[in-house]
Amino acid sequence: MSPRQQLLAGRLPRRLAQLLAGLTLYGVSMAMMIRAQLGLDPWDVFHYGVATHLPLSFGTVTIVVGVLVLLMWIPLRQMPGFGTVANVFIIGIATDIALSMLSAPAVLWQRGVLLAAGIGLNGLAGAMYIGSQLGPGPRDGLMTALVRRTGRSVGLVRTTLELTVLAVGWLMGGVVGIGTVAYAVAIGPIVHVLLPRLTVRLELVLPPAPTGNLTGCVEDLPRCRKTPSGEPWNPTSLEPGPCHQAPSAAPRSCTAAPDRRPASRSSSAHDGLYHS
């Protein structure tokens, strides 16, 4: 969906509340993993490494990097949504606030518990803001744009990006450890389980459907249009169904005026998943 379609797709108050809650919890989860001191996810290794060389807080570095990544969308012709811009700022602010309230546990097992809780909360928060369907995060938007422009697989592009930022961040002093491995192993399955339960179903606007007496004007019907899920769309019933295929010589004597009211169809984040 385009940014405008995301905002017009219905249930906006619910989706905005879920987006803001998810982004806030995402920042809290990042602070928990930082305080655990057992290793961070690849992008946060990079953020941490940059923060050690600049007079900026971790959250501020996260925001600055997010803005720079967002600027990289321009030559790739990727359009940010409302959730994309909110992601840049809210996560960084929430992380700094949470870091000011949390301290590093002195005992190893407590740090392990904090790490595990941080990874679990991160998965929940990610599923919440992805499920709001208001736009991908800047880093995953960069990944999907590169996939589209290069034709390479998602796995290859994502792995290349994350290994690059991980290596650069580690060389600058970022924290790499068992938490880095645990995050890589656990985050996918957690989001996979939670996302279907937290995805807000939308109403997508479909092309207008002709109504009235359609006898003699079969050629004027839309030709084999597809619904967002890829199913053929039957414009007379407004439900997925066989395409109306007509010979080129079909008469065009229909006098019924088409009804220009938009039809709607339920959609979910499974038609296009985003991530932070």
Calpha distance 49→85 (Å, rounded) = 23
135: left (phi over 0), alpha (psi -120 to 50) or beta: left
Q: Residue 52 above 90 pLDDT?
A: yes
Phi and psi dihedrals of 205, rounded to 5? -80, 125
Each residue of 246-258: pLDDT tens digit?
444 444 444 444 4
pLDDT band, residue 270 (cuts 50/70/90): very low
Cβ-in-10-Å burial (0-12, 13-18, 19+) of 248 comes to exposed
Each residue of 92-116: pLDDT tens digit?
999 999 999 999 999 999 999 999 9
| 234-238: long-range pairs with CB below 8 Å, 24+ | 235/207, 235/209, 235/210, 236/209, 236/210, 236/211, 238/206, 238/209, 238/263, 238/265
Calpha distance 235→255 (Å, rounded) = 17
Calpha distance 152→97 (Å, rounded) = 38
Each residue of 139-195: pLDDT tens digit?
888 888 898 888 888 888 888 999 999 999 999 999 999 999 999 999 989 999 999
Q: Residue range 263-272: average pLDDT?
A: 46
Question: What is the structure's pLDDT at 155?
Answer: 83
Q: Residue range 221-229: average pLDDT?
A: 46
Question: What is the structure's pLDDT at 169?
Answer: 94
pLDDT band, residue 276 (cuts 50/70/90): low
Each residue of 13-33: pLDDT tens digit?
999 999 999 999 999 999 999
Each residue of 195-213: pLDDT tens digit?
999 998 887 555 555 555 4
| Percent with pLDDT over 90 in the chain | 51
Question: What is the structure's pLDDT at 248?
Answer: 43
| pTM across the whole model | 0.73
Question: What is the structure's pLDDT at 10?
Answer: 81
Q: Per residue, what are the HEC states of the chain?
A: CCHHHHHHCCCHHHHHHHHHHHHHHHHHHHHHHHHHCCCCCHHHHHHHHHHCCCCCCHHHHHHHHHHHHHHCHHHHCCCCCHHHHHHHHHHHHHHHHHHHHCCCCCCHHHHHHHHHHHHHHHHHHHHHHHHCCCCCCHHHHHHHHHHHHHCCCHHHHHHHHHHHHHHHHHHCCCCCCHHHHHHHHHHHHHHHHHHHHHCCCEEEEECCCCCCCCCCCHHHCCCCCECCCCCEEECCCCEECCCCCCCCCCCCCCCCCCCCCCEEEEECHHHCCCCC
Question: What is the structure's pLDDT at 168?
Answer: 95
Question: What is the structure's pLDDT at 217?
Answer: 43
Phi and psi dihedrals of 266, rounded to 5? -65, 145
What is the chain's Cα-based Rg?
23
Cα–Cα distances (Å) from 57 to 48, 131, 202, 268, 275, in that order, read: 9, 29, 38, 37, 24
